[in-house]
Amino acid sequence: MSSFTPAPRSRARRKPDRAAYDEEAVFAILDAGLLCHVGYVIDGQPFVTPTTYWREGRKLYWHGSAASRMIKAQAGGLPVCVTVSHIDGLVLARSGIAHSMNYRSVMAFGRARLIEGVAARRAAMEAFIDRLYPGRSAELRPATDNEILQIGLVEMTIEEASAKQRDGGVNRTPADEDWTAWSGVIPIETLIGAPMADAQQSAGAAPSPSLGLYEPGARLDTVLTAAAGAYCGLPVST
């Protein structure tokens, strides 16, 4: 895989040894996530909006209400910064200043572009469903054109990106040795729970194979990574 070229806005300055710019590192963190935060500026006022997303190659996609401020602002090539982060553990040291976290994160820069037209929006929404639940879009009631028009879908080509992560233990100094406060790492995981059926679910309906990755007790980031591997991508237009 190739790499993103570090530039002033994407180069890690603090703890640069924890940073990576290759596609493998960046894509692995993106594909293991579900929620991103999109930063942008409207009339000098910064905003950060959380939303779900997915990745195809060097492109990121996210959605929102077609009437939302975010979607309207990003329709015309607005510069945006997208971040994704995972917390993997709390690192407790013997001094407050040495406390830390184990984490994985990505910061990506590009310009937002609104996906236009009912057919293109429909294809993108079906792709989003299949990215999370491989094959599920074929099982669902097709959205009406009016429903599709109420959704805004945004595409961003990643121009610059950096990954940063920490995966380690406690940092100690000689001054800590005489203190008896407990130190160590508290791991953090987000796990899949048991499915809870809709109270008005049709009789006899059961989770389909499209949900097979979502086994109770499985790690969410592992499931999302596997779903990304099974995903075939947006259909190629002809």
Hey, where are the domains in the chain? 16-230
Q: What is the pLDDT of residue 7?
A: 87
Q: Residue 148: which residues within 8 A CB-CB, separation 6 or more?
A: 118, 121, 122, 125
What are the angstrom distances between the C-alpha of 89 and each of 12, 37, 203?
21, 21, 42
Chain position carrying tokens 């959605």: 63
The tens-digit pLDDT sequence of the chain (238 residues) is: 699 988 888 888 888 889 999 999 999 999 999 999 999 999 999 999 999 999 999 999 998 887 788 888 887 789 999 999 999 999 999 999 999 999 999 999 999 999 999 999 999 999 999 999 999 999 999 999 999 999 889 999 999 999 999 999 998 888 888 899 999 999 999 999 999 888 888 777 888 889 999 999 999 999 999 999 988 666 544 3
Q: What is the pLDDT of residue 235?
A: 58
- The answer to whether domain 16-230 has CATH 2.30.40.10 is no
Q: What is the pLDDT of residue 238?
A: 31
Residue spans of beta strands (DSSP E) within the chain? 19-20, 35-42, 45-56, 59-65, 76-92, 100-114, 151-157, 160-166, 184-187
Nearest Cα neighbor of 93 from 189, 187, 188, 186 is 186
Amino acid at 200: Q
